[in-house]
Amino acid sequence: MEGPQSNYDVENYKQAAGDLANPIKPVEVRMAALQTLKQLNEKYAPKESKEAAQPEVKQVKIGNKSYDARRGKHGKYYVQMGNTYYEVTE
């Protein structure tokens, strides 16, 4: 779990992890613990940004040639021609 969590969620996570790992607990209790862990993991999972979902390299056509455009730090794509980088606009 990343980022700030409530004390309740942290304790709940620890309890569920212990219940899940305990072979003496009934299957129903272990399955409930697994559901709790899944819910807490979803709650605190980092949200994927739109920028992160974009590919690092994409094909662009300039005239009748195709080039690899690479994504820069700010999410914009650039094509390198010689020593110069050109921003790709669509």
* DSSP state letters, 38-72: HHHHHHHSPPPPHHHHS-SEEEEEETTEEEEEEE-
63 or 17, higher pLDDT: 17
The per-residue pLDDT for range 42-73, each reduced to its tens digit, is: 888 776 655 555 568 888 887 888 888 888 87
The per-residue pLDDT for range 29-45, each reduced to its tens digit, is: 999 999 999 998 888 87
Kindly report the pTM of this predicted structure: 0.50
% of the chain exceeding 70 in pLDDT: 83
